[in-house]
Each structure stands twice: as C-alpha cells, then as structure tokens.
Amino acid sequence: MTAQTTTGRRPPRILAIGGGGLTEASGELDSYVVDLSERDDPRICLLPSAGNDASAQVARFYDVFGGRAEPSHLTLDRASDPPDLIRRHLLAQDAVYAGGGGLVNVLSRWRAHGVDGALREAWQAGVVLAGQSAGSLCWFEAAVTAPGGQPRPARGLGLVPASNSVHWSAAPRRRRAFLDCVADGMPAGWGVDDGAALLFEGTELTGAVAGEHGARAWRIEREGPEVVETAVPTRVLGAPAPPVAAASDPAIEELRELRRFHSARGAHGVRRIRVGL
C-alpha cells in the first residue's frame, strides 16, 4: 500500500446506495462513483464487508473498477497497516467505497483502526465517500440496521445529520422499524431501494439516482400524528435525456404542472402512516 497526494479541491460528496452495488446489475451506479471523482483514472479504495463473503466482494471490486480506475482495498485485519499509514492511504484516494456488513460491526472495526476519523478528514478534503447497505448507513447520524434479521436503531458516523434505511422495498420489516423509529423521534431521513442512491454535497441532498427504472428513494419524516413517505425525484443513470419541448402557453404549462403535482401525491408519490398503527 502506497500513499500519494490528491490535487485539486472538490466539494465533500457522499453517494449512499440502498443496496445491490458491485454486481453485474449495478454497472451504472458503479460508473457514477468514477464520474463523481472527476478524474480520468481515479484512485478508489474498498473497505470490504467483514465476514465470509469479503474475499468475493474484493474480487468483484477489482473486476468492476480495474481498467477504469486504480483500485485498492484495506482488509483491516489484525495484521493491518498502522493507523497513520491507513489514514494517509485514505486521504490519497479520489473515492472510498464501503462494502457493507453489519453496521455496528463495521463501525467497531473502523474505530479500532482509526478509520472513522480518517474518513471524516478525507470527506472534508473532497474524497468521494460511497457505499452500499451498511456502507450507506454509516455516513448518517442514525439508521436502522438488521443484525440476524432483527431490525433495530443504530448510530452512524454522523457526517449527514439525518437518518437512513436501505433495501427499502425489499425488506418490509426493516421499513416498518424505520417508520416506527422516526415516529419515536429519530431524525427525519430517507429510505432507499436496492439499485438507487442518494447524492449529497456537504450535508445537503442534491438528488437521487438509480441504475434502472423502478428503483427510487423516499423522504421519511413525521408530520403531526403521521409519518409521511414522499417519493424523491430519481434520475435513471444512462437514460436518454427527455426531448426539449417547444415553447408553449404559460397557462397551459401551469395546468400541466398542477396535474403532475396531484398525480405525484397519489399512491406512488406520498404514503401516510398513522403513528401507533
């Protein structure tokens, strides 16, 4: 592992992926990490998941990013490099990709090696932070994790002062637990489907993206006696841009926009859940 120095100042960016990264189906999202680095041949480091699938994930990471980036990885085992060298390596990257695992376990391993502080420093220096599943939850103040399939609240690194839940449409028990947590006072946040991601610059959400049609993100917040899920406009990566429409009557455009607004607040735009039900 060698340490280099990045040049040029970029805004702090986080790409929080709901799940499904580093797979054959995630090519658009994985390519987007490269795009966000604003480098032709970016340095990208993987912090792999802990557990039996770590070596397979490392192999997929090199398959995905080899040839279009300079990939590396940090295993953070007992024979790992000293914290100062780990810090310098992370600060020399253009992007860091967190592979996931159990959130509590991931953060415990990171803190044991000083990775938590190094990641905050790297983020502030403009290194793109990306990750899927627990590698997405970790960037937020609060989250719902599911060790052993049992959803429960947990705290993240707090780079984004909000909450997050992943595998949104695919994991109904986790979704229900997250809604209950927001009802009980967890900060408002987002639920994100597999194949979709939230993009932050600093601590502000700048948009949601997806690798395919159908994957999306939801804003989750409490409004009085209800917890409200509101669909976040999600751009499908790689999809052709909509054609530019010819100029039309402003009154007609206003009517169309009103219809779109009411349509978005239907079954696919807003869901309301009464607290306590």
Closest to 127 in 3D by CA, of 42, 17, 68: 42
88 φ, ψ (degrees, to nearest 5): -65, -35
Q: Are strands 128-132 and 95-98 parallel, antiparallel or unpaired?
A: parallel
Active centre residues (catalytic): 133, 167
> CA of 230: how far to CAs of 39, 138, 165, 174, 199, in Å?
34, 23, 14, 17, 17
Residues 70/106, Cβ–Cβ less than 8 Å: no
* Residue 173 in tokens: 């028990």
Could you count the other beta carbons within 10 Å of the beta carbon of residue 256?
Answer: 11
Report the half-sphere exposure of 145 (CA within 13 A, side-chain side). Answer: 22
DSSP code at position 75: -
Alpha-carbon span 55 to 235, nearest angstrom: 32
